[in-house]
Amino acid sequence: MKFIDEVTLFASSGHGGAGCIAFRREKFIEFGGPNGGDGGKGGDVIFLASVGLSNLLELRHRPHQKAEKGHNGQGKNRHGASGNDLVIKVPVGTVVSDAETGELLADLTENGQQVVLLKGGRGGQGNARFASATHKTPRFAQPGEEGQDRKLRLELKLMAEVGLLGLPNAGKSSLISKISAARPKIADYPFTTIKPSLGVVPYKNGRSFVMADIPGIIEGAHEGAGLGHRFLKHLERSGILLHLVDISWMPERDPLAEYEAVTRELTLFSPELAVKEQVVVITKLDLPQTREHLPDIKAWFEGRGIKVFPLSSATGEGVPDLLDEIARRLWGKLEEEW
């Protein structure tokens, strides 16, 4: 299924129904008086966050959304029915803004959260409302109030406590598939991951956290190079970033320069994202060349006050230590310390 995380909608709330002009017409009642009913209220446009949705694909094919208009009033003081509200379901983590001004209208971060973005028009009053001692036969009524129209921009930002960051083929998909039920595509070529994925990672005693995997970041990503620039926004809600570094290519490539290049791309994309807490993970520990160069790489990071966590997604070596570190940073202590 195609992953859609941005969409533009043209939304309209319902117009209010018109008030009715009517008079009593009954035998033996010569001056029955006005009895036109009020029009019904137009339907609202409501956005509802639902965990049952994972992207905005359905809305991409239905860009025009309109709530039902209110029904007109009728004689015998019968009011028109209100129009049905239009409830638009979106994934948790959806941000709704005005497409023309950029104004933030709603940030739906919890399941079941809903917000009324466009109010339906009020129904017009029937002529019975305007009868008075000096004006007993009003022959006018109010039209219904018009609904609201707005061009909206919807943007999905994944809700995850932990985000995976790194160059293409650094081992992000292998790690998330090892510690969660997520099954992203894994292969020995760059850009295997072409869309974000979420995985729930079980820890201990029933505790868990959500991890997000995005396509790899390359130099120039903030200017549109590669795929990851489109999905960096999905890391903005993450509390912790795991920065995965592959050193198995040494000495053909310089992993330290690559690490600094990815960090620089974060800063250029979003200063707020750049200051997020990072955990450096050395991947592919099962490979001999990784073990050979690990001492020098650890010394470089530790010389800058950065602790590294080497691991192998293939064998599971080092994974428990990484999960304990994530638990400390997310919850302040390990499960057994509660």
Per-residue pLDDT at 221 exceeds 60: no
pLDDT of residue 190: 44
Cα(190)–Cα(180) distance, rounded to whole angstroms? 22
Helices (H) and strands (E) in the chain, counts: 6, 14
Least confident span in 23-37, 122-136, 147-161, 224-238: 224-238
Q: Give pLDDT tens digits for 276-314.
A: 889 999 999 999 999 999 999 999 999 999 999 999 999
Domains of the chain, first to last: 6-156 (2.70.210.12), 162-337 (3.40.50.300)
Which of the two residues, 15 and 264, has the higher pLDDT score?
15
pLDDT of residue 337 exceeding 60: no
Share of the chain above pLDDT 90, in %: 54
pLDDT surpassing 70 at residue 335 = no
pLDDT band at 182 (very low <50, low <70, confident <90, very high): low
For all residues of the chain together, what is the average pLDDT?
Answer: 87
Residues 31, 138 contacting (CB under 8 angstroms) = no
Q: Can you give the pTM of this predicted structure?
A: 0.76
Residue 13 confidence (pLDDT) above 50: yes
What pLDDT is attached to residue 1?
47
Kindly tell me if the per-residue pLDDT of 109 is higher than 70: yes
Sheet holding 277-282, edge to edge: 197-202, 208-213, 162-166, 240-245, 277-282, 308-310
Residue 94 CA: distances (Å) to CA of 126, 231, 282:
41, 14, 33
The tens digit of pLDDT for each residue in 44-98 reads: 999 999 988 888 988 988 999 999 999 999 999 999 999 999 999 999 999 999 9
pLDDT tens profile 126-178 = 999 999 988 988 999 999 999 999 999 999 988 889 999 888 888 888 899 89
Burial of 65 (0-12, 13-18, 19+ CB in 10 A): middle
